[in-house]
Structure 1
Amino acid sequence: MPAPDCPLVPLEPSIFTAIIDNGNTTSPNLVPLRSLCKSGRPLVLLGGSYTCPLYRYISHVLNDIYVRYKTQVDFYMIQIREAHASDVWPIGNIVDVKEHRTLSDRLAAAREMVKKTQLEIPVLADTMDDTFLKLYSPWPFRFFVIADGTLKLVGMPKEAHYDTTDLVKCLNDLLCDKKE
Structure 2
Amino acid sequence: ILRSAHQLYEDGKEFHNLSLYVRHNHAKRGNLRVRDPAIDIDLLNMNGEYVPLLSHCNPNRPLLILAGSYTWPPFRGLVPQLNRLMDSYRDRVDMITVYIEEAHAVDEWPIGGRIRYVQPKCDADRIQIANDFIKAIEYRISLLIDPVSKLNPFSEVYCPWPIRFYVIDHMKKLSYIAEPIEGSFPLELIRNALDDAIQQ
Q: Which residue of 2 aligns with 1:42?
A: 62
Aligned residues: 162
Using the size of structure 2 for normalisation, the TM-score is: 0.76
Q: What residue is the counterpart of 1:10 in the other structure?
A: 45
Q: Is residue 176 from structure 1 mapped to residue 192 from structure 2 by the alignment?
A: no
Match of 2:89 in 1: 69
Equivalent residue of 1:60, what SS?
Answer: helix
Question: 2:164 aligned with 1:142, yes or no?
Answer: yes
AA matched with 1:72: R
What is the TM-score of this pair, normalised by structure 1?
0.84
> Which ranges in structure 2 are unaligned for 5 or more consecutive residues?
1-35
Pairing 1:119–2:139 present: yes
Equivalent position of 1:25 in the other structure: none
Unaligned runs of 5+ in 1: 14-28
AA at the equivalent of 1:41: R
Larger Rg: 2
| Aligned residue runs from structure 1 range 28-39, under 5 A | 29-39=49-59
Q: Does 1:57 align with 2:95?
A: no
Residue 30 of structure 1, CA deviation: 0.7
How many angstroms apart in 2 are the aligned matches of 1:83 and 1:93?
Answer: 13
Distance 1:159 1:104 in 2: 28
2:174 pairs with 1:154: no
| Runs of 4+, deviation exceeding 4 Å | none
CA offsets 1:48-73 (integer angstroms, 9 cap, x no match) = 11001110111111111111112221
C-alpha RMSD of the superposition: 1.6
Q: Any residues of structure 2 matched to 1:18-33 within 5 Å, and which?
A: 29-33=49-53
Counterpart of 1:34 in structure 2: which amino acid?
L
